[in-house]
């Protein structure tokens, strides 16, 4: 919870835990949108918070957004 993420630890996490690639080279906060490349080749943007906590780790084609209510 209190882990302090850096662009390096994020890249490591993404490489180890997902098929997605991190394209961004700077991390400025949980709500900042980072650039990713999905395993299918699409690029997409996702805040780290959603990527990590909501497991939104693919593009919208591979992982369509869920309706939440």
Among 38, 51, 52, 56, binds Zn ion (CB under 5 A): 38
Q: Six-digit token pair at 58?
A: 């693919």
Spatial distance between the Cα atoms of 44 and 42, rounded to a whole number of angstroms: 7
Spatial distance between the Cα atoms of 25 and 63, rounded to a whole number of angstroms: 24
**Contact call for residue 51 and Zn ion (CB under 5 A):** no
**Contact call for residue 23 and Zn ion (CB under 5 A):** no
**Contact call for residue 57 and Zn ion (CB under 5 A):** no
**Contact call for residue 42 and Zn ion (CB under 5 A):** yes
CB of 34 to Zn ion, least distance (A): 16
**DSSP state, residue 16:** H
């Amino acid at each position: 919870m209190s882990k302090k993420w850096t662009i390096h630890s994020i890249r490591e996490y993404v490489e180890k835990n997902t098929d997605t690639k991190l394209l961004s080279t700077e991390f400025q906060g949980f709500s900042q949108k980072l650039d990713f490349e999905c395993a299918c080749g699409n690029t997409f943007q996702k805040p780290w918070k959603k990527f990590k906590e909501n497991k939104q780790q693919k593009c919208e084609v591979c992982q369509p957004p869920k309706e939440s209510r």
